[in-house]
Amino acid sequence: MAAEDKCPETIYDVKTPSFLVDIDVIKRNVTRMKETCDRLGVQLRPHMKTHKTVELGEMMTNGTKKCVVVSTLDEAEFYATHGFDDILYAYPITQQKLDRCRRLAEKLEKFHMMVESPESMEALKTTPRGDNKNWSVYLEIDLGLGRTGVEWDSDLALTLAAEAANCPSIDFLGLYVHSGDSYLARGPDSIRQSGRKNTDKLLQLKVRLAEAGVTCPSLCMGSTPGCSHPDDSMAQLDCFSPGNYVFHDTMQMRIGTCEESDIACRVICRVISHKKSQNKMSIDAGFLAISHDGMELGLAEGPVIFQGHPELKLLGMCQELGSVGTQGTPLDFSKYPIGSLLFIYPHHSCATAALYKNYYIHSGEKIVGVWRPTRGW
């Protein structure tokens, strides 16, 4: 928002498209996750990637500004500059990023990194911090998702853990997992099943490490579905690192992580054109306001939800325009006059939030704040 812009009073006064965040839903989501972690006796190390704001970082850490995860160095620097500490940069490290990591490590009381390859381990071993302190390092484990991380049942997992534990310039913190396979689950029972399976694999690896003489101080696992509906066995973990739970989205809803009423963010947009001959209309939100995320799934109902209008379907998007129709029924254009407002629950809130310079924070209809996320890498 430009300095000269007047802060809108209500959600109906914001320019369209804009990104709205319901502070009351956020508070519920934050409290629920904290209670879940307290109940299981695990530490919450929330991920900041979904929102990338100071304000929500403070809320998610219960005001401590400590013990967070980030996915870019820009985020790490942003949070460090705003007084946060105990930051885990949970992204495979490479030699080229170590200078920035060193500066963060010097500035913060605790800055942790993640390795998952012989190359990154070598980079850390041959590039000591230079201030007589150690790099603080998790080993990233792949439990079957196949994204990054060293395979949980591989010999390489043992080798890298042993190298980290035995290297005099490294403090080995333990194992870190993004349990992204929970996104394939459907419903709380199936989510819990994946949590049980993942916990079991991680504990098996911890035992194998112990047998090889490597002490694994901490097991950290995170995903919003998995941590929202944890299996009781996950109490054996030390730390949860979910992020998306603050906003949620229609993807989480379809997985069965949350209800529509738990989704804290919406894109507000306007109907700008009717194409009656084709039973569709246009809105002033295209892929730069909603993101393309989810379109590739070809869902019958489309990737997003138009709040209060289940008959509407997002048909397609170009840069600044969205095309909206129905799933076959005639579109009642009288319900959607040109200039009228629509509220969209995004498919993937991380991707949609990333498109905005400002988030308009509201309680009920009243705008109560404007938050500015960090951007970049």
The contact set with ligand PLP (CB under 6 A) reads 47, 69, 71, 90, 178, 222-224, 241-244
CA distance 85 to 109: 6
Nearer to ligand PLP, 22 or 181 (CB): 181
The minimum distance between CB 371 and ligand PLP, in angstroms, equals 19
Taken as a whole, the chain contains a residue count of 377
Q: Which is nearer to ligand PLP, 60 or 90 (CB)?
A: 90
H or E element, residue 312: strand 312-317
- The one-letter code for the residue type at 267 is V
Of 155 and 259, nearer to ligand PLP (C-beta) is 259
Greatest alpha-carbon pair distance for the chain in Å reads 72
Contact criterion met (CB below 8 Å) for 306 and 342: yes
Both structure tokens of 14: 């914001």
Q: In whole angstroms, how close is the CB of 367 to ligand PLP at the nearest point?
A: 27
Least distance in Å: CB of 361 to ligand PLP? 21
Between 104 and 221, CB nearer to ligand PLP: 221
Which SS3 state, helix, strand or coil, does residue 316 take? strand
Beta-bridge partner residues of 88: 69, 112
Residue 175 to residues 124, 137, 291, 299, Cα–Cα distance (Å): 17, 9, 33, 36
To 5 degrees, how large is the angle CA 197–CA 120–CA 82?
Answer: 85
CB 344, CB 15: distance < 8 Å: no
Please tell me the distance from the alpha carbon of residue 67 to that of residue 77, in angstroms, as a whole number: 15
Smallest separation (angstroms) from ligand PLP to the CB of 324? 27
- CB of residue 305 vs ligand PLP: minimum separation in angstroms? 19
Nearer to ligand PLP, 14 or 69 (CB): 69
How near is the Cβ of 247 to ligand PLP at its closest, in Å? 10
Q: Please say which residue, 331 or 351, places its beta carbon nearer to ligand PLP.
A: 351
Cβ count near 181 (within 10 Å): 21
Please state the closest distance from residue 69 (CB atom) to ligand PLP, in A: 6
Task: Tell which residue, 51, 11, 10, 26, has the closest CA to residue 268.
Answer: 11
Question: What does the alpha-carbon distance between residue 126 and residue 130 come to, in Å, rounded to a whole number?
Answer: 11
Min dist CB 313 to ligand PLP, Å, is 26
Q: What backbone phi and psi angles, to 5 degrees, belong to 199?
A: -60, -40
Nearer to ligand PLP, 23 or 145 (CB): 145
337 vs 376 by CB, closer to ligand PLP:
376
